[in-house]
Amino acid sequence: MFCKLTPAEDARMREILRGVADDPNALVMRQFIQHGTVTTYEHCLRVARIAYWINLRFHCRAREASLLRGAFLHDFYLYDWHACRDITRWHGFKHPLIARYNAETLFQLDETEKNIIQSHMWPLTLTWVPRCREAVLVCLADKMSSTWETLMERRGGGPVLQQP
Ligand SMILES: [Fe+2]
Ligand SMILES: [Fe+2]
């Protein structure tokens, strides 16, 4: 994977995400498919990893805890969008707000984390704009991750992730 973290960076990421990524409600995301054979849980971890990697390598000076927590929770909408017709009709537009609602209900979020989640689909969601560097990084990392997952799916899968 192009966004490889050092063992120390990887350990720090896990430490920051403790209490969120291992929460039983977050583990539910392992049941839902995001793209191809990639679960929403894997996708969220990948987005967190990419955003963290960009922040470190390009010295973006984002707040690490908010960046990682917001990145991990950005798709915390908790349904399979392939199987929910009522929601999936407008899934791309709706799910950032649903994810934010779920995340706010279950975790204590700061304003940066809320903005990260709600704006991650920008520019599709015109008025939900990334308003901090953390949200910009996650918005970018999500598009990189989705592109990567779709390409891997077309190539028939393969090792795409430094395992969580
Ligand atoms: Fe999303
Ligand atoms: Fe996503």
Residue range 83-139, pLDDT digits in tens: 776 666 788 899 999 999 999 999 999 999 999 999 999 999 989 999 999 999 999
Q: How far is the CA of 6 from the centre of ligand 2 (A)?
A: 24
Q: Which residues contact 52 (CB under 8 A, 6 or more apart)?
A: 5, 9, 13, 64, 67, 68, 71
Is residue 161 one of the residues assigned to a domain? no
Q: How far is the CA of 142 from the centre of ligand 1 (A)?
A: 7
Q: What is the pairing mode between strands 38-39 and 33-35?
A: antiparallel
Q: How far is the CA of 115 from the centre of ligand 1 (A)?
A: 13
| 73-87 average pLDDT score | 84
Q: How far is the CA of 74 from the centre of ligand 2 (A)?
A: 6
The ligand with the least distance to the CA atom of 118 is: 1
Is residue 1 one of the residues assigned to a domain? no
The ligand with the least distance to the CA atom of 72 is: 2
Residue 146: what pLDDT?
92
Of 32-46, 72-86, 145-159, the least confident: 145-159
| 10-37 average pLDDT score | 95
| 33-58 average pLDDT score | 95
pLDDT score of 141 more than 50: yes
Residue 13: what pLDDT?
98
For residue 36, which of 124, 145, 139, 162 has the smallest C-alpha distance?
A: 145
Q: How far is the CA of 142 from the centre of ligand 2 (A)?
A: 5
Domain with 45 in it: 7-154
Q: Can you give the C-alpha Rg of the chain in angstroms?
A: 15
Q: How far is the CA of 35 from the centre of ligand 2 (A)?
A: 10
CATH of the domain at 94: 1.10.3210.10
Domain count, the chain: 1
Q: How far is the CA of 48 from the centre of ligand 2 (A)?
A: 10
Is residue 2 one of the residues assigned to a domain? no
Is residue 162 one of the residues assigned to a domain? no
Average pLDDT, the chain: 91
3-state secondary structure of 10: helix
The ligand with the least distance to the CA atom of 149 is: 2
Q: How far is the CA of 24 from the centre of ligand 1 (A)?
A: 20
Which ranges of 18-158 would DSSP assign to H, the alpha helix? Answer: 24-27, 40-57, 64-72, 85-88, 91-106, 111-119, 133-154
Q: Which two tokens stand for residue 115?
A: 């903005």
Number of Cβ atoms within 10 Å of the Cβ of 108: 9
Q: How many residues does the chain have?
A: 164
Is residue 106 one of the residues assigned to a domain? yes
Q: How far is the CA of 47 from the centre of ligand 2 (A)?
A: 7
Contact (CB, 8 A) for 60 and 9: no
Position 81 confidence tier, pLDDT thresholds 50, 70, 90: confident
pLDDT score of 148 more than 60: yes
The CA distance from 130 to 36, in Å, is: 28
Q: Which two tokens stand for residue 120?
A: 């991650």
Is residue 164 one of the residues assigned to a domain? no
One-letter-per-residue 3-state SS of 15-46:
HHHCCCCCCHHHHHHHHCEEECCEEHHHHHHH
pLDDT score of 160 more than 70: no
The model's pTM is 0.91
Residue 157: what pLDDT?
52
Is residue 159 one of the residues assigned to a domain? no
Is residue 38 one of the residues assigned to a domain? yes
